[in-house]
Structure 1
Amino acid sequence: MTPTHDNAVDRRQAGTAPGEPGGREPRAQRPEPAEPTPAAAATVDEPSLPRRIRRPGDAIRFAASVAGVAGVLLLVNIAQGTTQGLQTDIREGTERAPHVLLGLATLVSSFGVLAVPVAFAVERLLRREGLRVAVGLLAAVIAFALTVLLDGWEIPAAPGGVLDSLIWGGSRTAPLHTDITPVIAFVTAVGTAGRPRWQAAIWTMIGLAALTGLTAQYASVSALAATYFLGRAIGYGTLYAVGAPNPRPPGAAVLAALGRLGLRPVRARRLPDRDDVRRYGVAVEDGRRLGDPPHPDAEWRLEVTVLDRDQQTAGMLYRVWRLVRLRDRSTRRAVRSLRRSLEQESLMAYALHAAGARTPQLLGTCEVGTEAALLAYEHVPGRTLDALDDAELTDEFLTDLWRQFGLMQEARLAHRRLEQGSVLRDDSGAAWIVDLRAGETAANDLLLRLDLAQLLTTLALRVGAERSVGTAAAVLGARALAGAVPLLQPVALNRGTRAALRHDRELLTRIREQILRLEPETEAAPVRLERFRPSTIVSIVALTIAAYIVFPQLSDVDVGGLVANAHWWWVLVGIAGAAASYLAAAWMLMGFVPERLPLVRTVLVQLAASFVKLVAPAAVTGVALNTRYLQRAGVRPGPAVASVSASQLIGLAMHVLLLVLFGFVTGSTGTATENLAPSRMIVIVLLAVAVAAGAAAMVPPIRRLAADRLRSMFSGVLPRLADVLQSPRKLITGFGGTLLLTASFVLCLDASIRAFGGELAWTSVVVVFLTANALGSAAPTPGGLGAVEGALSVGLTISGLPAETATSAVLLFRLLTFWLPVLPGWGAFAYLQRKEII
């Protein structure tokens, strides 16, 4: 007899939850092979499973092995003394070891390192796993060829310190070992999981071979480590490229597992996967006896979720990134075992059902062989939110959904994935919570508020911010919604929701506004969820590259001699040029704003931008800070953005015109700077930019993104420019400030060059500055760090300036224009904030 829902509840309450220590093993985990199951006569409608699959875990292990090789090379490069000392200690230790044992180990390893893998291959062939052995042989061949190739390349190409650490005794052997690497690659590709005896025998032989190399002093520890990681990388890379045999159990095995739970499946069909998780709809027949033929009118009663072991690593890198980046104090793990995933979803299903929330009842769990596990839920006829029409999203349905959500919140259960696929509307119009894989029990306040922000956004994407907030407030109350306001930011939402928000960037703002209307005293400042921003990583990489470029140049520079012989009056001229740039930037902004702005305050705003640009790209900080300043000065948001965009547009046009003009003048002169930026080079650069822009425009996502950015940046610019053109004074101020800004920086750069005894034609200095400034504005690093220094150093050197003079001039120029203004910029920023000017 098929168990009813009540019987299933009684059975669950009588035992303990799966994995609970000290409790009786639940029925879901007890096999009952005593009598045949009806699954033998059941039918499964599903497409054929692929014979081979590419497992995400193999790709991750390949990347980790490659990182291991790079780590070994880096370690021997920066810790040569340590590695050589370790080798010396090993040599001295092996000299005291009994020679009989060492000789025996050498004899056994020389024979067994190849014999044992061959025997393992024969055993696999006898078990009809020839394709797996063939993949292993392919990996071994690739490993052998690559090892020989690297040995021939690395000896002449590797730095002396690295080479000395990889080999023993200078030149006695190759850095990598062709006898071990293919064996490691073969074993990795074939796989020894589940065969502990073979695994122990093979790795014992590999370990003895490594020990023999150390005792005979023809292998070093670092070389053996590099050999191990390289063999692993080749094995996993080959396995991922070719594909591994599919270990996923078919639908017939799933139905057989259901039979062991006491359920009587008649037929099943494969449902669409949900985030790479297999699902089956299963029909069972009440009152059907064992051995009875299937009845064609059996009803769909179960929805079975199958967790495949190879899918547990899918999305691991993204989960690691989120765990490292966000401050959500989550108990989630980036790497989840099959057992943990099964227990996590089971516990969440039981807890949600006990809380009284409407969710499909979990009838049982069971392992399906060694590579999968299943969860059998009652089938709820209905459709998920993403499949519903707008007319079906009534206020009654939304209110019922918020009631179910309120029960979750009261029980301190966090769903973590409240997207459209996690909400179901049954045939009667009731709301159900499904897809509990990522749920957490005993959730903290932050996780509960994150769930609230996620569901508010999910519903607002379908019904709008007003209905989403209104129906939620009717159930939860306005005060409860206020807790979600600081978390209404893209980084707090799921990946699919963030992608949907790209089509409606103002949705989160509208949700906040609706909540603030209900609860005006709400704290609206966003909660800092990120430990660091992606731009921080970009900045670190850029600074590393810049240091790699600049520091080698500094090693050849006699800084003391240059400073002793520097002309300090030119440093004062450079300071004057840097100071004039802030006045020029203020005039540039004031010229494109029809409203009257005080000069001193505007100059202070430009000075404050020198502090803010430490944490964001220069182009972004200037626009954001000036826009906020104009709004605080009484300019409406639309005209404020248009005014700043107009000044930026004119500045960009002036920059390009000056670059072309001075590039032509520089290429037309007979000075020694002809090879810096001749007119032919300018044409090539412009054509290259045009081709790159055209290629980018052919990609629809990039084209739409660029169009949206340009539209939002320059909407209303032309009317704003028309207002400015009516005032000649404003026109002169704006264009004069634009030209003065470039002239100030050129004066500072030229003075920095002359301060160290260098001299260049002023046209060359203009071209070098304009080129470097363009690269700095495009670089996604604070103040263009890395890009500006590199471009200036290369440009001045090409112009004919000695490398040490060019490097010193660039450092002085950046000191005057970027680093020294930071402290006064911070003071200006604090003052303006205190006065509520920005």
Structure 2
Amino acid sequence: MRVDGREIPVSGSLLQPLIRRTSDIIRVVLAILSVAIVITGSLITRPEWLALEESVSNIVGFLNPEQSNMVYLIYGMLILALPFAIFIELVLRRQWKLLAGYAAAGWLAVLALSFTGTGLSTPKWHLQVPDRLDTFLGQFLDDPRWIAMLAAMLTVSSPWLPTRPRRWMWFLLLMFAPIHLVVSSVVPARAMLGLAVGWLVGAIIVWLVGTPALEVPLDAAVRVLARRGFTVQGFTVVHPAGRGPLLLATAVAEPAGEIVVEMYGKNQRSFGAMRQLWRLITFRPSETAPLHGSMQRAVEHRALMGIAIGDLGKADCSHFTVAALDRGWMLYAHTVPEGTRLADHKSDVLPGVWRAMADLHRNQITLGDLQPDLIRIKHGDTLFGGFAAAEFGSGDVQRNSDIAQLLVTATSLFGSKVAVASAIEVLGENAVVSAARRLTRSAMPTGIRRSIPHWHKDVQKASQEVRDQTGHDQIKTAQVTRFSRKQIIQLILLVALVYVAYPFISQVPTFFSQLRHINWWWALGGLGISAATYVGAALGLNACAGYPVKLRWMTLEQLANTFVATTTPAGVGGLALSVRYLQQSGGLTTTRATAAVALQQTVQVVTHLSLLVLFSIVAGTSSNLAHIVPDATVLYLVGGVGVGFIGLFVLVPKLRHWVNHSVRPQVKEVVRELTDLARNPKRFSVIILACATITLGQAFALWVSVEAFGGGTDFVAVTIVTMIGGSLASAAPTPGGVGAVEAALIGGLAAFGVPAEVAVPAVLLYRVLTCWIPVLLGWPVLKWMSDKDMI
């Protein structure tokens, strides 16, 4: 590179990789979205758009035929001359390499719109001038391929054209639709497809070929540094522009010898803007630094923070130049970082690192990015680098973030014990415990994640070590995002509830039409019976867990459990909620809580089957039971699938390992609990009674619902229907068995002679009492328990 008569060598590639050209990628994405919107609108709302355009054309089409023809002729000649004007501009500017992309963009745009359902359709542009000039121009203006060609050519050449001609050319092209509406000659809807496709083709070519923004203005950088007293002798590319800036090791004349030059282009500006927007959307305002209005302001902020930290003697380099260059580039220059990296020292330097950071905090300065490579030691003093995320006048949130980041960095280098002990020694236990709330994945910045290979494990190690050394068993996690994991899960559950409730909602009109025949006393009794089942479930789970919490709180948990179980397939969410509640409120370990839930489910299944056998014997109606039990083919199929699953878990090593190390210990725990139950008759009786209350309570609720609409069968038959039909339908893939439960119960009642005009509203009332009312109450209860940290 020759600058002002001097030859300055440049080592390394300055070209940005394709995946880092953020501005060009954004342009391609927007072009794809525009094509998708145009195509979707054409397929879905084409008649409405045509009617709207016709109405608008009638309103704004105020010109008479002679005036319309004149406007059409003038605009047609201008739009016909547009590609030639671009061509002449490129030739005058000697953009020879761009001419190939210019021609390719035009041909590809025309080709893209030439494919139809019947094959390739070539443009029918007759170059012989016909009798009427407007007819000749109409051959081009009415063809979307011409518009696509112009849009593609203009997109490719725009970055290389002067600002004023580029704006006028785009204005001329985009006036296509308004002109046609005014002259009322054609409907411009199809031209939108041409514009969108042309823009997409041009955007892809620009992304592949590049723009002037990729050309690094090193000559301007040399002149800026010369004005600051640094004579550049050569550049060496340390890191090409991509996610971060273009990093150049710059050899200069004495006394400096070498400095570091960072150059930021338009792609860094686009990536930075997207990152700021993403953090603004996903993180809380207290976690988000003030937005920078431009890349220049962001670079200036970094330099100014470096100067402020340097005044305190804590910066690893001196900052001396920030300048705006040609083509939207920014230059930021500083001296080579001093000292040696923290990783090259032993753990005895950690107290000095913590004291240096505490000094910055006392001066209301936080660093915001404490990667291992940004911390250096010089003659026993700690120096910091980076400063892109540094803030002045920061509060407790930023200070705690610094402490948490340094805990993770120190853990990755020296181990968690030394890292936490040195932090407590310098900062005190309270400060470390407060910062430990931020030892989470979402609270760690991108720099920490990139620079530390196993950062997530180091976060867990540091958090556990803080608990061990301070004695705080429960350290509440700080919420740094706008929506916590619990809130997202609750939102998903609420959406799932709407989905699963839709079949029921569609039957609501029929149900309400039958309410005029209902006996409300029976319905009120069914509601009381339904409430008793939750008390029984709470009593049984509490007994299985060893009575760790009060019965009323456990009953509320079972109510919230109904909401979660109904909105998750197979009710797995309800089981997980019970385990979580026993951990949080009962103080049980994960293994102990899981074993308690598994024990309750095991006893529930055994009790359910025992009652089914008992009532089947009492009923003595085996012929009627055949209407409910599936035929032999279905049973064989279910058995075959079960045997296949067993074989799968036996043959696949990972599944076998999971069974041996995760499932088997839980099974042993359940067996041990069952053995202990056999030796404790009082506790055993409580659990059996509670499980029987659930099963018989559901049967009573269905029987009461049938009686509310006139009756038609006895309690024994309804109990069999509830246990067999409900159990079979519970295997349905829909959350809460919605649809399957109703169908099974209605069919079972019909098998015992209950007429349809009684069975249908009775089952719907039963589901309202035992499912939908508890679900509606369970949602606020779940939210309340979540706010109280009970789950």
TM-score, length of structure 2 as denominator length: 0.70
How far apart in 2 are the matches of 1:438 and 1:676?
69
Residues 147 and 176 of structure 1 are in contact (CA less than 8 Å); yes or no, is this contact kept in structure 2? Answer: no
How far apart in 2 are the matches of 1:63 and 1:177?
22
Match of 2:555 among 603, 609, 612: 603
How far apart in 2 are the matches of 1:206 and 1:746?
74
Q: Is residue 144 of structure 1 aligned with residue 113 of structure 2?
A: yes
How far apart in 2 are the matches of 1:612 and 1:64?
39
Unmatched segments (≥5 aa) in structure 2:
122-141, 611-624, 713-717, 751-755
Partner of 2:330: helix, strand, or coil?
strand
Q: Is residue 263 of structure 1 aligned with residue 226 of structure 2?
A: no
Match of 2:363 among 411, 414, 419: 411
What is the deviation of 1:810? 7.6
How far apart in 2 are the matches of 1:115 and 1:799?
80
Partner of 1:467: helix, strand, or coil?
helix
2:310 maps to what in 1? 353
How do 1:689-704 residues align onto structure 2 when only pairs under 5 Å count?
Answer: none
Could you list the per-position Cα deviations for residues 736-756 of structure 1 after superposition, in whole angstroms to 9, with x for gaps in the alignment?
867976887798799989999
Residues 283 and 482 of structure 2 are in contact (CA less than 8 Å); yes or no, is this contact kept in structure 1? Answer: yes
Paired AA for residue 120 in structure 1: I
How far apart in 2 are the matches of 1:558 and 1:73?
39
How do 1:22-101 residues align onto structure 2 when only pairs under 5 Å count?
Answer: 36=5, 40-42=7-9, 44=11, 46-47=12-13, 49=15, 55-64=21-30, 90-91=56-57, 93-97=59-63
Match of 2:767 among 777, 792, 813: 813
Match of 2:151 among 184, 195, 217: 184
Q: Is residue 108 of structure 1 aligned with residue 69 of structure 2?
A: no
What is the deviation of 1:340? 3.0
2:126 maps to what in 1? none
What is the deviation of 1:190? 4.8
Residues 185 and 233 of structure 1 are in contact (CA less than 8 Å); yes or no, is this contact kept in structure 2? Answer: yes
Q: 1:198 to 1:676 in 2, by over 3 A?
A: farther
Residues 302 and 376 of structure 1 are in contact (CA less than 8 Å); yes or no, is this contact kept in structure 2? Answer: yes
Q: 1:350 to 1:737 in 2, by over 3 A?
A: same
Residues 725 and 741 of structure 2 are in contact (CA less than 8 Å); yes or no, is this contact kept in structure 1? Answer: no
Q: 1:811 to 1:360 in 2, by over 3 A?
A: farther
Partner of 1:771: helix, strand, or coil?
coil
Residues 107 and 149 of structure 2 are in contact (CA less than 8 Å); yes or no, is this contact kept in structure 1? Answer: no
How far apart in 1 are the matches of 2:664 and 2:396?
42
Match of 2:422 among 471, 480, 490: 471
Partner of 2:313: helix, strand, or coil?
coil
Q: 1:586 to 1:412 in 2, by over 3 A?
A: same
Partner of 2:321: helix, strand, or coil?
strand
2:299 maps to what in 1? 342
Number of residue pairs aligned between Structure 1 and Structure 2: 727
Match of 2:284 among 314, 324, 327: 327
How do 1:147-546 residues align onto structure 2 when only pairs under 5 Å count?
Answer: 180-181=147-148, 183-192=150-159, 195-215=162-182, 232=199, 235-236=202-203, 240=207, 242=208, 244=210, 247-249=213-215, 256=222, 258-259=225-226, 261-271=228-238, 275-286=243-254, 301-314=258-271, 317=274, 319-329=276-286, 332=289, 337-367=294-324, 369-380=326-337, 382=339, 384-385=341-342, 388=343, 392-395=345-348, 397-426=349-378, 428=379, 430-478=381-429, 480-481=431-432, 483-495=434-446, 497=448, 500=454, 502-503=456-457, 506-507=460-461, 509-510=463-464, 512-513=466-467, 525-533=476-484, 536=487
Could you list the per-position Cα deviations for residues 703-729 of structure 1 after superposition, in whole angstroms to 9, with x for gaps in the alignment?
9xx97x997898676346424423225
How far apart in 1 are the matches of 2:786 and 2:393?
45
Paired AA for residue 484 in structure 1: A
Match of 2:584 among 628, 632, 636: 628
Residues 411 and 458 of structure 2 are in contact (CA less than 8 Å); yes or no, is this contact kept in structure 1? Answer: no
What is the deviation of 1:129? 0.9
What is the deviation of 1:358? 2.6
2:675 maps to what in 1? 725
Could you list the per-position Cα deviations for residues 359-380 of structure 1 after superposition, in whole angstroms to 9, with x for gaps in the alignment?
3111323445425333222113
Q: 1:540 to 1:479 in 2, by over 3 A?
A: closer
How far apart in 1 are the matches of 2:484 and 2:143?
40
Could you list the per-position Cα deviations for residues 616-645 of structure 1 after superposition, in whole angstroms to 9, with x for gaps in the alignment?
9545432211222321xxx5x366445346
What is the deviation of 1:110? 3.4
How far apart in 1 are the matches of 2:749 and 2:155?
55
1:129 maps to what in 2? 98
What is the deviation of 1:357? 2.0
Paired AA for residue 230 in structure 2: L
How far apart in 1 are the matches of 2:109 and 2:647?
44
How far apart in 1 are the matches of 2:172 and 2:647?
58
Residues 246 and 262 of structure 2 are in contact (CA less than 8 Å); yes or no, is this contact kept in structure 1? Answer: yes
Residues 408 and 458 of structure 2 are in contact (CA less than 8 Å); yes or no, is this contact kept in structure 1? Answer: no
Paired-residue identity, % = 18
Paired AA for residue 770 in structure 1: A
User: Which protein has greater RCO, CA pairs closer than 8 Å, 6+ apart?
Assistant: 1
Q: 1:464 to 1:753 in 2, by over 3 A?
A: farther
1:767 maps to what in 2? 728
Q: 1:580 to 1:546 in 2, by over 3 A?
A: closer
Q: 1:672 to 1:722 in 2, by over 3 A?
A: closer
Paired AA for residue 456 in structure 1: L
Root mean square deviation, CA, Å: 6.0
Partner of 1:303: helix, strand, or coil?
strand
Residues 486 and 525 of structure 1 are in contact (CA less than 8 Å); yes or no, is this contact kept in structure 2? Answer: yes
How far apart in 1 are the matches of 2:632 and 2:581?
35
Q: 1:339 to 1:72 in 2, by over 3 A?
A: same
How far apart in 2 are the matches of 1:124 and 1:808?
81
Range moving further from structure 2, 671-680 or 491-500: 671-680
What is the deviation of 1:417? 1.9
How far apart in 2 are the matches of 1:226 and 1:792?
50
What is the deviation of 1:210? 0.4
How far apart in 1 are the matches of 2:708 and 2:22?
58
Could you list the per-position Cα deviations for residues 350-407 of structure 1 after superposition, in whole angstroms to 9, with x for gaps in the alignment?
222234323311132344542533322211355545xx25xx2423x22232233234
How far apart in 1 are the matches of 2:368 and 2:390?
6
How far apart in 2 are the matches of 1:418 and 1:681?
60
Residues 139 and 238 of structure 1 are in contact (CA less than 8 Å); yes or no, is this contact kept in structure 2? Answer: no
2:595 maps to what in 1? 643
Could you list the per-position Cα deviations for residues 210-255 of structure 1 after superposition, in whole angstroms to 9, with x for gaps in the alignment?
0133235577798877776665556546655x46358434696597
Partner of 2:154: helix, strand, or coil?
helix
Partner of 1:582: helix, strand, or coil?
helix
Paired AA for residue 449 in structure 1: N
How far apart in 1 are the matches of 2:112 and 2:646?
44
Could you list the per-position Cα deviations for residues 159-187 of structure 1 after superposition, in whole angstroms to 9, with x for gaps in the alignment?
xxxxxxxxxxxxxxxx9965545543553
How far apart in 2 are the matches of 1:831 and 1:320?
33
